[in-house]
Amino acid sequence: MAARADGYTRAVNTLKVLLPIGALGLLSTLFLFSGEIDPSQSIPYAELNVEQLAREQRVTAPYFSGVTEDGVAVTLTGDAVVPGIEDSSQLAITELIANIQTPSALLVTARAPAAALDTSLGTVLLTGGAKVQSSEGLRIVTDALKVDVNEGTMQTLGPIEAEGPFGNLNADVMQMTRSAPDAPHRIAFEGNVKLVYREQTE
């Protein structure tokens, strides 16, 4: 019995030495077969511009709303907004939608893939192809459009193509403004206005 106990003890002591050595051997083979490390190869996440992420403060689904002194309601929504790097009053908005609701129940909606909001001036410049639609059934397409949030007015910065119940129209400029502070808003076309009238049928 004593001899058997001694043999068991020797076996345990031997395994205590061999097992750690075997583990070290396995680890060494892993490093040998893993190949050389190429420092030029970076993980995919390293492609992120950390400096840019730290500089940009992106906000998704922005929403701005306000009412002018004479009761014009203005709302601005978009997919995302990023403040300017050098001037925080300059905001870049993607997929902007601007709604202007006048006291006379006229609703005008303008949208564009990109816009620049100047909070110091209260203006929004829609670029990349702006589309305007009114509650009176008027649809307008233009390259760029400027909205004055403080006044609740807008003006195109280039030629327009319009379609409405009256027919099709082309002009150099479209303005949504009013002749006096207490006058209702009107949509007017100026400069080389060409109208193709569509006869109304009952």
Tell me the per-residue pLDDT of 125-148, one tens digit each, with 9 for 90 and over.
999 999 999 999 999 999 999 999
Share of the chain above pLDDT 70, in %: 71
H/E/C letters for each residue in 55-93?
Answer: HCCCEECCEEEEECCCCCEEEEECCEEEECCCCCCEEEE
Q: Where are the domains of the chain?
A: 1-41, 57-197
Mind listing the pLDDT tens digit for each residue in 38-71?
Answer: 544 444 444 444 455 445 577 889 898 889 888 8
pLDDT at 71: 87
CA dihedral 177, 180, 185, 188 (to 10 degrees): -50
Architecture category of domain 57-197 in CATH: Sandwich (2.60)
pLDDT at 94: 95
pLDDT at 9: 58
Whole-model pTM over 0.85:
no
Average pLDDT over residues 159-184: 90
pLDDT at 85: 79
Q: Which two tokens stand for residue 57?
A: 């403060």
